[in-house]
Amino acid sequence: MAAAPTIEKRQPVFTEVAALRPDTSGHNLTVKVLDAKLVLSRPGRLQGPPTRIAECLVGDQSGVIVFTARNEQVDIMQPGSYAILRNAKIDMFRGSMRLAVNQWGKVEAATGLSFEPKTEYNLSLVEYELVQVPDNASKDSNGHVAVGNRNPIPGGLPVADEKLANGIKAQA
């Protein structure tokens, strides 16, 4: 039998917390756990392991974000410890970003690190809103959708009635 070909693995690219964006995935981060609160602890089904979910505030030198730890991840994410998150994703919860690692990723404890996260920049406090853009929306030269009235009437008020326009000018 022929030997199986060896597969070269590429080195992971680590990103910073401040570079995270909504609904993205595949992030590798090195973080410090600032706080951890157990929000759910339920016995397992059919004598299985219990289900545990903790919300942890994690961060690096660029900012902090809420991380949702599940089951075995809860044991690693203790306040004051450092962790390496591989293949993490951003979930949206009530309009804010949450970091999570599912079954395709890995959470492991890190040693030999020493940094303090930038707590002033919390990405989970930024609220996002999904905006539906019509297909026939006008776009500028950069491809961005024009929002609002970009060419207001000289005088600043979009007025449809001539008498009303004259009345506003007279009062001003």
Six token digits for residue 14: 């680590």
Q: Identify the pLDDT of residue 67.
A: 94
Classified by CATH at the fold level, domain 17-125 comes out as: OB fold (Dihydrolipoamide Acetyltransferase, E2P) (2.40.50)
Q: Identify the pLDDT of residue 29.
A: 93
**Stated pTM of the model:** 0.70
3-state secondary structure the chain: CCCCCCCCCCCCCECCHHHCCCCCEEEEEEEEEEEEEEEEEECCHHHCCCEEEEEEEEEECCEEEEEEEECHHHHHCCCCCEEEEEEEEEEEECCEEEEECCCCCEEEEECCCCCCCCCCCEHHHCCCCCCCCCCCCCECCCCCECCCCCCCCCCCCCCCCHHHHHHHHHHC
Q: Identify the pLDDT of residue 148.
A: 53
Note down pLDDT in tens along the chain; length 172 residues: 567 788 888 888 889 999 999 889 999 999 999 998 988 878 877 777 888 899 999 999 999 999 999 988 888 999 999 999 999 999 998 888 999 998 888 999 988 888 899 989 999 888 888 777 777 666 666 666 655 544 444 444 444 444 444 444 434 3
Give me the phi and psi of 28, to 5 degrees please: -115, 125
Read off the amino acid at residue 145: V
